């Protein structure tokens, strides 16, 4: 928030609530102390109002200056004991003493916390010894209970807050590590896609060269066949340029070299499913609609998505039955891979620590498509992909 050109940080509601509770507690204690001391037969103004304010109000600063607030409270008690003794001999001092030792236990610096606690206990013994009459064991026990118990409670609270902060820091570190692994997985998948598109472009260029050579020999003897060859060259060149554009969008440096040759497409889905059956996977392939000539990159993306989905079924769904459906619609290629086994996590990484869904999402995003992956209401897991055909 900006006010008059200056930045004003937003108010934390939790912090505001905490300070409001502190203020209410301290004010209530102060009012109770004044009521107790004001009801004595001889109650000087300094004793009734001054000292209770000195050993109570500093506790409002415990969040900002915990050590100083405790020392001021204990010092005020010692000063009153030397000057008047009316208050320190009454129960009015119990609330600030309990709060002071509790605050001492919550101090983050353990050495300082222990020293202040010891100093406070010694001060309490000194006040008891300074009172008229002999020092009784019961008085020492009373002092030990009303100083030791709140101090121990403060130490327990400090330990719990330290553990909570440590757990929160670990959770943040794990989240950062997970995000880093996902970024690495995305980069790795982009590199793989770029290499495969490189092969697609190389194959298209090879087709262009072969057809151009054939057209050169046929142009004088059979112009019609030469024209057909040139049309093939034109289509292959158009596809090569399209895939080249996609490749430049995702290209990353990588030293690996994949084998040259055409990449798999929709025609290879049947062998892929057959290989799955041979490995023990119960899987069926259904094709709906009339297949049309699709860009090689679209076919490659569809093949890889089905391959990854079936791999996840084999790894995580055991003996579940899987169904792969390929629907050819005008302008859209619709893929559906469903299984009826235990669900695979849909948070971007499967239970084995892989990043199959992330890879699918990257391939779909490359062609401006849509991917939905998640648990089925009836059990199992489903992957649905829509790839627009431009």
pLDDT digits (tens, 9 = 90+) for 153-191: 989 988 998 898 889 889 888 888 888 888 888 778 777
| 205-209: average pLDDT | 71
Among 114, 135, 156, identify where a domain stops.
135
Question: Which pLDDT belongs to residue 323?
Answer: 93
Choice between 267 and 279, residue whose per-residue pLDDT is larger: 267
Question: Which pLDDT belongs to residue 386?
Answer: 93
| 93-98: average pLDDT | 78
Q: Is residue 200 part of a domain?
A: no
Q: Is residue 215 part of a domain?
A: no
Q: Is residue 148 part of a domain?
A: no
Round to whole Å and give the CA distance between 72 and 12: 28
Among 109, 135, 161, identify where a domain stops.
135
**Is residue 106 over pLDDT 80?**
yes
Domain region containing 284? 266-388
Round to whole Å and give the CA distance between 219 and 225: 8
**Is residue 260 over pLDDT 60?**
no
C-alpha distances (whole Å) from 27 to each of 22, 33, 58, 66, 75 are 9, 10, 11, 18, 20
Round to whole Å and give the CA distance between 48 and 36: 8
**Percent of the chain with pLDDT strictly greater than 90:** 9
Q: Is residue 203 part of a domain?
A: no
Residue 358, domain CATH: 3.30.565.10
Question: Which pLDDT belongs to residue 70?
Answer: 87
Helix ranges (H only) for 219-294 are: 223-250, 269-278
Q: What's the pTM?
A: 0.42
The string of DSSP codes covering 180-224 is HHHHHHHHHHHHHHHHHHHHHHHHHHHHHHHHHHHHHHHTTT-HH
Q: Would you call 92 helix, strand, or coil by DSSP? A: helix
**Is residue 23 over pLDDT 70?**
yes
DSSP 43: -
- Listed residue (320, 335, 331, 303) closest to 380, CA to CA: 320
Count structural domains, the chain.
Answer: 2
Question: Which pLDDT belongs to residue 350?
Answer: 44
| 32-54: average pLDDT | 61
Q: Is residue 248 part of a domain?
A: no
Among 118, 135, 152, identify where a domain stops.
135
Round to whole Å and give the CA distance between 312 and 299: 20
Q: Is residue 245 part of a domain?
A: no
Mean pLDDT, the chain, whole residue set? 76
Q: Which residue has the tokens 């989240």?
A: 175
The answer to whether residues 386 and 370 touch, using CB atoms and an 8 Å cutoff, is yes
| 93-107: average pLDDT | 84
Question: Which pLDDT belongs to residue 344?
Answer: 46
> Strand 282-288 vs strand 321-329: parallel, antiparallel, or unpaired?
parallel
The answer to whether residues 197 and 246 touch, using CB atoms and an 8 Å cutoff, is yes
Q: Is residue 253 part of a domain?
A: no
Q: Which helix (H) or strand (E) holds 380?
A: none
Question: Which pLDDT belongs to residue 156?
Answer: 92
Its sign, for the CA torsion 239, 244, 247, 252, is positive
Q: Is residue 17 part of a domain?
A: yes
At 12, is the pLDDT very low, low, confident or very high (cuts 50, 70, 90)? low
């Amino acid at each position: 928030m900006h006010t008059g050109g200056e930045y004003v940080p937003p108010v934390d509601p939790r912090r505001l609530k905490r300070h409001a509770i502190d203020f209410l507690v301290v004010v209530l204690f102060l009012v109770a102390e004044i009521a107790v001391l004001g009801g004595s037969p001889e109650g000087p103004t300094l004793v009734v109002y001054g000292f209770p304010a000195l050993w109570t109000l500093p506790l409002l600063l415990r969040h900002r200056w915990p050590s100083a607030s405790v020392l001021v409270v204990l010092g005020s008690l010692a000063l009153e004991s030397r000057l008047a003794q009316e208050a320190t001999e009454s129960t009015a001092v119990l609330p600030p003493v309990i709060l002071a030792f509790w605050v001492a236990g919550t101090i983050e610096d353990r050495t300082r916390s222990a020293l202040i606690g010891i100093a406070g206990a010694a001060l309490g013994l000194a006040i008891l010894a300074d009172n008229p009459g002999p020092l009784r064991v019961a008085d020492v026990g009373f002092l030990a209970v009303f100083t030791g118990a709140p101090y121990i409670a403060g130490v327990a609270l400090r330990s719990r807050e330290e553990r909570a902060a440590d757990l929160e820091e670990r959770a943040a570190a794990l989240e950062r590590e997970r995000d880093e692994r996902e970024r690495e997985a995305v980069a790795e998948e982009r590199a793989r896609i770029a290499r495969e598109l490189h092969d697609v472009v190389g194959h298209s260029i090879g087709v262009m060269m072969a057809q151009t050579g054939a057209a050169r020999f046929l142009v004088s003897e059979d112009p019609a066949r030469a024209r057909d060859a040139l049309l093939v060259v034109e289509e292959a060149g158009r596809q090569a340029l399209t895939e080249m554009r996609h490749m430049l969008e995702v290209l990353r440096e990588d030293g690996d070299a994949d084998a040259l040759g055409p990449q798999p497409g929709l025609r290879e889905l049947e062998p892929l499913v057959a290989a799955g059956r041979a490995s023990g996977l119960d899987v069926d392939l259904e094709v709906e609609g009339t297949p049309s000539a699709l860009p090689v990159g679209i076919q490659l993306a569809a093949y890889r998505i089905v391959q990854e989905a079936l791999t996840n079924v084999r790894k995580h769904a055991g003996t579940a039955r899987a169904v792969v459906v390929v629907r050819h619609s005008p302008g859209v290629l619709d893929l559906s891979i469903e299984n009826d086994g235990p669900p695979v996590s849909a948070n971007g990484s499967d239970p084995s620590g892989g990043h199959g869904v992330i890879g699918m999402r990257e391939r779909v995003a490359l062609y401006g498509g849509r991917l939905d992956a998640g648990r089925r209401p009836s059990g199992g897991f489903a992957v649905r992909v829509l790839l627009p055909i431009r």
